[in-house]
A and B are shown apart, each in its own frame.
Chain A
Amino acid sequence: DTGVSQDPRHKITKRGQNVTFRCDPISEHNRLYWYRQTLGQGPEFLTYFQNEAQLEKSRLLSDRFSAERPKGSFSTLEIQRTEQGDSAMYLCASTRGAGNYNEQFFGPGTRLTVL
């Protein structure tokens, strides 16, 4: 257990529904990242936050994807009008400080299945 938690662990939804995932980072970590991992692939970087500011969102997969971190603590990732191609593991990671020399601690992920 890295100290990063994600909820729910599994989500099954029907195509066209909206889903929201939550990530709670390690408490003193001010940077939070979202990744998507499809079967047989490595994690794919989506977006990240420095405290409550979203500093990179150009890599979000489409305008159906959005993320928030309103108080600089937990974060949510929302997917609107889900499609079968959205089925994947969604991973959250956190790190302390700025710069990419700091270890990113990953949560266990939320596995999304879109029927």
Chain B
Amino acid sequence: GENVEQHPSTLSVQEGDSAVIKCTYSDSASNYFPWYKQELGKGPQLIIDIRSNVGEKKDQRIAVTLNKTAKHFSLHITETQPEDSAVYFCAASIPGGGADGLTFGKGTHLIIQP
């Protein structure tokens, strides 16, 4: 089955600096890659996603890049703010078999230092 690896597990950056989180996936048939932000006591919330036919997508301070050949994708947050502090999860679609769920990475705890 699909396996998603996510690094780093914890990332501390100064407010205003950029943060980068990286993920790799194992199944080349995966075709959808969302990123979720989870705050304490809440469910995950989608912040950006990318399909396999696109190499890069940007939404204001957030961007995602996808390298299908290398099977890795990354989240970039620029001009970080205190409210960006949370746990971020990457995910990949589970291909085949009629399943339509997502396989998640283990998460990155992003800490924005004031």
Contact = CB atoms under 8 A, between A and B. Distances in A.
Interface of A: 2, 4, 31, 33, 35, 40-46, 48, 55-56, 59, 91, 93, 98-101, 103-109
Interface string B57-89: 000000000000000000000000000000001
Contact of A55 (B31, B32, B98): B98
B44 A43 contact: yes
Nearest to A46: B101
Interface of B: 4, 6, 31-32, 34, 36, 41-46, 49, 51, 89, 91, 93-94, 97-107
7 contacts: A2-B45, A31-B100, A42-B89, A42-B107, A55-B98, A56-B97, A108-B43
A107 B101 contact: no
A56 B100 CA distance: 8
A55 B42 CA distance: 27
Centre residue among B42, B51, B93 by max chain A CB count within 10 A: B42
Contacts, number: 75
A103 B42 contact: no
Contacts of A4: 43
A115 B99 CA distance: 33
Contacts of B91: 42
A46 B102 CA distance: 10
Given A43-B89, A59-B99, A101-B51, A91 B43 contact: yes
A35 B45 contact: no
6 A-B pairs with the lowest CB-CB distances in the bound complex, closest first:
A42-B104, A45-B101, A106-B43, A100-B93, A56-B99, A42-B89
A106 B91 CA distance: 14
